[in-house]
Amino acid sequence: MAEFTTPTLKPYPEIPPIEIGVMAHSKPFKANPEHQQKIGFPGELVDNWEQVAVEKMGELVSKSRALRVFLDSCVKCGACTDKCHYFLGTADPNNMPVARQDLFRSVYRRYYTLAGKYLPWLVGARDMDQELLDQWYSYFHQCSQCRRCSVYCPYGIDTAEISMAAREIMDHIGVGQKYCNEIIGKAQTIGNNLGLPEKALLNTLEGLEEDIEDETGVAVRMPLDEKNADILLVTPSADFFAEPHVDGLIGYAKVFHQAGLSWTLSSHASEAANFGLFIGSHENMQNLALRVREAALELGVKRIVFGECGHAWRVAYSFLNTLAGPFDFLDQNYPVPQHICEVTYDLIQRNQLTLDKSANDDMVLTFHDSCNVSRGSRMGDMPGGQFIIPREIIKAVCNHFYDMPSDTIKEGTFCCGGGGGLLTDDLTELRVKGALPRMEALKQVVDQYGVTHMAAICAICKSQFSKVLPYYGFKMDQIVSVHQLVGNAIVLNREP
Ligand code: SF4
Ligand code: SF4
């Protein structure tokens, strides 16, 4: 890993003077042939890769009208240029959303527009060649597909879709990314990203049951593969092994316990994350989504609830039905699927949980909105429910809550810096620099209100912050799960 300097936190975000090519060296490790072939891609760079890439681009553009509109409609107004956290943190102009798009658009113009075919120099059209492929591999792995730029673009151009298409094309010519593709292979064969087999999962859950009973004196169950439970909980596998994730899982279990809901985890679908989204692969996304359907049918559940995972909720909320539906065998009186925050919020509204807010009095909280929840999904039956519900839960279980500056939260939230399949140590420099805008916003509420902790509902955000907080002078345990706060506040040995 290259040496790098952590950016300095400033009182207010500043647009950096550009430094051309300063992040060109940043590239994730490439997938090896085994990782590639396991999920249906060529093991290495195919012979006629330029032609294959161009043909794949044509196929994608003809299948997706949205992609074609995004490529055709940019007017170079510049509104997006300072909206990407990776540009703000790195100063590399190729991390301006419009420049990132142009790496793709230039090839599209060259092969799929009249002007680009005959007057390429006039319209910025470029041949697909090795130099461009190197830039693609670098800069399409410097986009966390957070969609912040699309909020500020007058045409709503979504760079995330273009990044996904670029990654899909690269996979099809044999140039995949190790982190994502290895994980997808594991999830498709073992059932989760960690490669945690059923027995290890069972042992982990039993250990957590013992921990809760030791701490509270109450036997709270964490059932696995329990047939005919009402609820199948599908949660990120990070929840099974590391803090603060595991504290969130304990929180979900306490909520189900106190509400008297019957629930189970599944060893077949022991992963909410769906990295097929990150590589733009419909087939891989579908294979992973089908495991959730299979588990629900096999276990005979009535409801499916997703745990705290940002992109998993986007896939679940926006695509699960088309990927793996219909889910007409589930109880239609509940949302299909449902988010754990919706379950908890509903129980709080109906006074079904006994909560002691003072249990969290050692913390002053703020909340980090995860990109895929904020800009790619919703919660509840009200506009903006994805912003309201997590905050209302936090306020119901904590006495001290303050939001970060308004242009850094909700629809305008800044990415944690590790989303979109970039949460890998080979991209540490990018992750640290990309976290700058969020760290600056956090610093403001730390200084202004004495905020001590930041809560989140995304496994990737939590892992990313645990890693990057210390680079900016914070402590790694200043990131907490929302359901960790709920779990702390639930009074188990009293009836609601
Ligand atoms: S989607 Fe997010 S990471 Fe990608 S270019 Fe836009 S703002 Fe940057
Ligand atoms: S804001 Fe939209 S139209 Fe303007 S330069 Fe960016 S992508 Fe193009």
Residue 333, pLDDT > 50, answer: yes
Distance 70 CA to ligand 2 centre (A): 9
For residue 1, the model assigns a pLDDT of: 58
Q: Residue 263: enclosing H or E segment and its boundaries?
A: strand 263-264
104-138: burial string, b at 16+ Cβ within 10 Å, e else: bbbbbbbbbbeebeeebeebebbebeeebbebbbb
Verify whether ligand 2 is closer than 6 Å to residue 157 (CB atom): yes
For residue 225, the model assigns a pLDDT of: 97
Question: Which residues have any ligand 1 atom within 6 Å of their CB?
Answer: 83-84, 86, 97, 100, 143-149, 159-160, 163, 415
Average pLDDT of span 252-272? 97
Name the β-bridge partners of 263.
231
Average pLDDT of span 466-473? 98
pTM of the model: 0.96
| pLDDT tier at 493, thresholds 50, 70, 90 | confident
Average pLDDT of span 124-136? 97
Note the pLDDT tens digit of each residue in 158-193: 999 999 999 999 999 999 999 999 999 999 998 888
Distance 415 CA to ligand 1 centre (A): 9
Distance from C-alpha of 453 to C-alpha of 90, rounded to nearest angstrom: 26
Distance 34 CA to ligand 2 centre (A): 39
Residue 209, pLDDT > 60, answer: yes
For residue 496, the model assigns a pLDDT of: 44
Distance 83 CA to ligand 2 centre (A): 11
Tokens 């219909």 map to which residue? 326
Distance 209 CA to ligand 2 centre (A): 51
Residue 383, pLDDT > 90, answer: yes
Tell me what the pLDDT averaged over the chain comes to. 96
Residue 109, pLDDT > 50, answer: yes
Measured in degrees and rounded to the nearest 5, phi and psi for residue 265 equal: -95, 165
Q: Are the beta carbons of 140 and 103 closer than 8 angstroms? A: yes
CA distances to 88, 361, 457, 461, 478 from 453, rounded to whole Å, are 24, 11, 14, 14, 5
Nearest by Cα to 28 from 160, 130, 180: 180
The pick from 75, 82, 105 for probing ligand 2's pocket by mutation, whose C-beta has the most ligand atoms within 8 angstroms, reads 75
Q: Are the beta carbons of 231 and 223 closer than 8 angstroms? A: no
Higher pLDDT, 249 or 14: 249
Please provide the DSSP assignment of 26-59 as one string.
Answer: --PPBPPHHHHHHTTS-SS--TTHHHHHHHHHHH
Note the pLDDT tens digit of each residue in 420-463: 999 999 999 999 999 999 999 999 999 999 999 999 999 999 99
For residue 494, the model assigns a pLDDT of: 58
Residue 226, pLDDT > 90, answer: yes
For ligand 1, atom 6, the nearest C-alpha belongs to: 149
Ligand nearest to the CA of 80: 2
Q: Residue 481: enclosing H or E segment and its boundaries?
A: strand 479-481
